[in-house]
């Protein structure tokens, strides 16, 4: 059985503001499984590839500059429906329009400082996981309380 995986990254503002535990905790409490996590300062090449779909947009250069400005916490989370669910938990791109209860709705006000990235579709999840992680950095494991999460 192929279980769905998504790529999430706590951006430099989330790390600098001390929100790593708060954000990781939301996905843990939801019940998704963490299969990879590392902190890194992304290279310009990595950031440009990650945000390649936005390369013609006016905010591209500042977005790449920001995402490479300090440590990012890159993660892979696993579970049925995790890609769409994580996007809902993250909330709208514009934090002022994000619903209260979402990460951006609760923790951010500015579109350029919206604390977290999440893959938006199965193809982008596969692309982004492969871009940020080597295959041997992804851990296959069974949580000891698995039977209490899923039937």
**Among the listed residues 111, 124, 127, 137, the single contact to ligand UDP using CB under 6 A:** 111
Residue 141 touches which of Mg ion, ligand UDP, none (CB < 5 to 8 A by kind)? none
Size of site (CB under 6 A) for ligand UDP: 9
Contact present, 12 and 112 (Cβ < 8 Å):
no
Element (DSSP H or E) covering residue 8: strand 5-10
Active-site position among 11, 26, 104, 117: 117
Which residues here bind Mg ion, judged by CB under 5 A? 120
**Among the listed residues 16, 43, 93, 139, the single contact to ligand UDP using CB under 6 A:** 93
Contact present, 113 and 68 (Cβ < 8 Å):
no
How remote is the C-alpha of 93 from its chain's centroid? Answer: 13
Q: Which is nearer to ligand UDP, 10 or 63 (CB)?
A: 63
Element (DSSP H or E) covering residue 72: strand 72-78
Residue numbers annotated as active site:
117
- Where on the chain is the footprint of ligand UDP (CB under 6 A)? 54, 59, 63, 93, 111-112, 114, 117, 120
């Amino acid at each position: 059985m192929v279980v769905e995986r998504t790529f999430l990254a706590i951006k430099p503002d989330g790390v600098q503001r001390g929100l790593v535990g708060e954000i990781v905790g939301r996905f843990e409490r939801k019940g998704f499984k963490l299969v990879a996590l590392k902190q890194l300062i992304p290279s310009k090449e990595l950031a440009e590839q990650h945000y390649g779909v936005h390369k013609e947009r006016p905010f591209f250069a500042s977005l790449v500059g920001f995402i490479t400005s300090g440590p990012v916490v890159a993660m892979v989370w696993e579970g049925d429906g995790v890609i769409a669910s994580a996007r809902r938990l993250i909330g709208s791109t514009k934090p002022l329009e994000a619903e209260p209860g979402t990460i951006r709705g609760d923790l951010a006000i500015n579109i350029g400082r919206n604390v977290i990235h999440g893959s938006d579709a199965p193809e982008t999840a596969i692309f982004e996981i492969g871009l940020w992680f080597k295959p041997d950095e992804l851990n296959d494991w069974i949580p000891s309380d698995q039977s209490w999460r899923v039937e």
